[in-house]
Structure 1
Amino acid sequence: MNGLSIRELCCLFCCPPCPSRIAAKLAFLPPEPTYALLPDPDPGSGATVSAANSGAAPPSLGAPGLRSRLERAEFQYSQRELDVTDVFLTRSSRGNRVGCMYIRCAPNARFTVLFSHGNAVDLGQMSSFYIGLGTRINCNIFSYDYSGYGVSTGKPSEKNLYADIDAAWHALRSRYGISPENIILYGQSIGTVPTVTLGIKVSRMRLGLAPYSPPPLLAEGASLTPKKTSRFPSPFPNIEKVSKIPSPVLIIHGTEDEVIDFSHGLALFERCPKAVEPLWVEGAGHNDIELYSQYLERLRRFINQDLAAQHA
Structure 2
Amino acid sequence: MGSATSSMAAKFAFFPPDPPSYNLSVDESTGKMRISDVHQREDVDVMKLSTKKGNEIVAMYVKNPSASLTLLYSHGNAADLGQMHHIFTELSLHLGVNLMGYDYSGYGQSNGKPSEQDTYADIEAAYKCLEEKYGVKEEDIILYGQSVGSGPALELAIRLPHLRAVILHSPILSGLRVMYPVKRTFWFDIYKNIDKIPFVNCPVLVIHGTEDEVVDFSHGKQLWELCREKYEPLWLKGGNHCNLELYPEYLKHLRKFISAVEKLPPIQNVTEQGTDQQECPSKTTDQNTEKARSSTDHKEKSRPSTGQREKSRLSTDKSRTSTDRREKSRKSIDRSGKARNSTDQTERARNSFDRLGDMVRSVGLCNVDCLKQAASEA
- Indicate the TM-score class for this superposition, using the shorter chain for normalisation: 0.7 to 0.9
Find the partner of 1:36 among 19, 23, 46: 23
Partner amino acid, structure 1, of 2:173: L
Q: Write out aligned runs for 1:138-217 (5 A).
A: 138-203=96-161, 213-217=162-166
Tell me the equivalent position of 1:63: none
TM superposition shift of 1:236: 2.2
Tell me the equivalent position of 2:85: 127
Q: Aligned in 2, Cα 1:116/1:284: closer, same or farther, shift over 3 Å?
A: same
Partner amino acid, structure 2, of 1:273: R
Residue 41 of structure 1 aligns to a residue whose secondary structure is: coil
TM superposition shift of 1:183: 1.1
Q: Give the stretch that moved more between structures: 275-284 or 221-230.
A: 221-230
State the Cα RMSD in Å: 2.0
CA contact under 8 A between 1:122 and 1:150: conserved in structure 2? yes
CA contact under 8 A between 1:146 and 1:156: conserved in structure 2? yes
Tell me the equivalent position of 1:291: 246
Tell me the equivalent position of 1:12: none
TM superposition shift of 1:39: 3.2
Partner Cα distance (1:230, 1:107) in 2: 45
Partner Cα distance (1:310, 1:281) in 2: 30
Q: Write out aligned runs for 1:247-286 (5 A).
A: 247-286=202-241
Partner amino acid, structure 2, of 1:253: H
Q: Write out aligned runs for 1:198-237 (5 A).
A: 198-203=156-161, 213-225=162-174, 229=180, 234-237=189-192
Residue 202 of structure 1 aligns to a residue whose secondary structure is: coil
CA contact under 8 A between 1:226 and 1:240: conserved in structure 2? no
Partner Cα distance (2:51, 2:190) in 1: 21
Partner Cα distance (1:50, 1:110) in 2: 26
Partner Cα distance (1:154, 1:301) in 2: 38
> Quick check: 1:24 aligned with 2:10?
yes
Structure 1 segments of 4+ aligned residues over 4 angstroms from their partners: 230-234
Q: In structure 2, list runs of 5 or more residues that go unmatched.
A: 267-325, 327-378
Q: Aligned in 2, Cα 1:30/1:226: closer, same or farther, shift over 3 Å?
A: closer
Q: TM-score, normalised to structure 2's length?
A: 0.64
Tell me the equivalent position of 2:60: 101
Q: Percent identity?
A: 42
TM superposition shift of 1:173: 1.2
Q: Aligned in 2, Cα 1:257/1:227: closer, same or farther, shift over 3 Å?
A: closer
Partner amino acid, structure 2, of 1:181: E
Partner amino acid, structure 1, of 2:166: L
Partner Cα distance (2:7, 2:55) in 1: 21
TM superposition shift of 1:98: 1.1
Partner amino acid, structure 2, of 1:193: G
Q: In structure 1, list runs of 5 or more residues that go unmatched.
A: 1-16, 52-58, 61-76, 204-212
Partner Cα distance (1:261, 1:234) in 2: 17
CA contact under 8 A between 2:35 and 2:46: conserved in structure 1? no
Q: TM-score, normalised to structure 1's length?
A: 0.77
